[in-house]
């Protein structure tokens, strides 16, 4: 299943719940700043790492601006994962976190 969530709704959910967040930015960008407890799986390697993920979990996918996360969330959904695209990405979240 593929869904999208707005930045404000994600921020509320993130602060109140233990989410499975996958940051698909390149490692260098991830190391410069990321959400606590998020997993770094760059978009270039994620397709090869799907076997390590649990299809029973929901994954919130985040990129810099939200464009690539929408593509990856859709791809993951096509493979049987419950993926949620975070609209606006880190670009909008960086002000709140």
Residue 88 clears pLDDT 90, i.e. is over it: yes
Q: Cα–Cα distance between 19 and 57 in angstroms, integer? A: 9
Which two tokens mark 1? 């299943």
Residue 49 clears pLDDT 70, i.e. is over it: yes
* pTM higher than the cut 0.85: yes
Q: Cα–Cα distance between 88 and 64 in angstroms, integer? A: 8
* Domains, in order of start, for the chain: 2-93 (3.40.250.10)
pLDDT at 1: 87
Which two tokens mark 34? 């990321």
pLDDT at 93: 86
Spatial CB neighbours of 81, under 8 Å, sequence gap ≥ 6: 50, 53, 55, 59
């Amino acid at each position: 299943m593929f869904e999208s969530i707005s930045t404000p709704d994600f921020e509320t959910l993130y602060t109140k719940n233990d989410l499975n967040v996958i940051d698909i930015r390149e490692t260098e960008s991830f190391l410069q700043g990321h959400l606590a407890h998020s997993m770094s799986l760059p978009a270039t390697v994620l397709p090869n790492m799907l076997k390590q993920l649990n299809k029973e979990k929901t994954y919130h996918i985040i990129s810099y601006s939200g464009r690539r996360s929408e593509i990856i969330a859709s791809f993951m959904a096509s493979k049987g994962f419950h993926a949620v695209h975070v609209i606006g990405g880190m670009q909008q979240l960086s002000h709140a976190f």
